[in-house]
A and B are shown apart, each in its own frame.
Chain A
Amino acid sequence: AQSVAQPEDQVNVAEGNPLTVKCTYSVSGNPYLFWYVQYPNRGLQFLLKYITGDNLVKGSYGFEAEFNKSQTSFHLKKPSALVSDSALYFCAVRDMDNYGQNFVFGPGTRLSVLP
């Protein structure tokens, strides 16, 4: 079965500092991996995805993520955090080798960027 873990409920970082939001996954086949962001009382917005190829994926709003197959991780990063990055972040996985399997979402990590 597929699963996603986001080991930190909350991440606090000072504005201008680099940020990392962690994600680890488990699938039986090869993964498609996604990051989404959610602002209060809104739907989720897509940030980036890993399908294949380069392990470093660049996405929207200056975010990037690094796929590490050996550690089964897909951590979200940004070199310099903004206060406006404060939101709830979700990692999601889909098993590309098991057609019909749907997205599985992690529990979310709340990012607070302090001015």
Chain B
Amino acid sequence: DGGITQSPKYLFRKEGQNVTLSCEQNLNHDAMYWYRQDPGQGLRLIYYSQIVNDFQKGDIAEGYSVSREKKESFPLTVTSAQKNPTAFYLCASSVGASYNEQFFGPGTRLTVL
């Protein structure tokens, strides 16, 4: 899982609550990403950030928000507007150039009760 940590490993949330997933990397990577993984669907991009204080929406950004105040941190907030938030969430980072592979964290499994 490289130098990326995600916490917590398991998270339970009641409907209507916002929850924030942590992602920290010590790899000095410029780019960071959040993916959602559902069974049989592979990974879908939620948000990404190429540089501090800048981020862009991915394919499924609705109901999610992010911030990138520090290079090493890219927290994801799952808001109450996300209709089906139960999923496995993966954070990744990469050196900025597009031919470089991503390094993934161990993931957070979010369950909405």
> What is A's interface to B at a CB cutoff of 8 Å?
9, 32, 34, 36, 41-46, 49, 51, 90, 94, 96, 99, 101-103, 105-108
Of the listed residues A34, A45, A103, the one surrounded by the most CB atoms of chain B closer than 10 A to its CB is A103
Q: Which residues of the partner chain B approach A36 to less than 8 Å between Cβ atoms?
A: 104
Q: Which residues of the partner chain B approach A101 to less than 8 Å between Cβ atoms?
A: 98
14 contacts between A and B (CB under 8 A): A9-B40, A41-B107, A43-B105, A44-B104, A45-B1, A49-B101, A51-B99, A90-B42, A90-B43, A96-B98, A101-B98, A102-B48, A103-B102, A105-B42
Q: Which residues of the partner chain B approach A107 to less than 8 Å between Cβ atoms?
A: 40-42
What does DSSP make chain A's interface, helix, strand, loop or mixed? loop
Question: Is B29 in the interface zone, CB < 8 Å from A?
Answer: no
Across the interface, do B99 and A96 meet the contact criterion of CB distance under 8 Å? yes
Q: Which residues of the partner chain A approach B106 to less than 8 Å between Cβ atoms?
A: 42-43
Across the interface, do B45 and A43 meet the contact criterion of CB distance under 8 Å? no
Known: A43-B104, A44-B90. A99 touches B98 (CB 8 A): yes
Across the interface, do B90 and A43 meet the contact criterion of CB distance under 8 Å? yes
Chain B residue nearest in CB terms to A51: B99
Chain A residue nearest in CB terms to B40: A107
Question: Is B68 in the interface zone, CB < 8 Å from A?
Answer: no
Q: Which residues of the partner chain A approach B90 to less than 8 Å between Cβ atoms?
A: 43-44
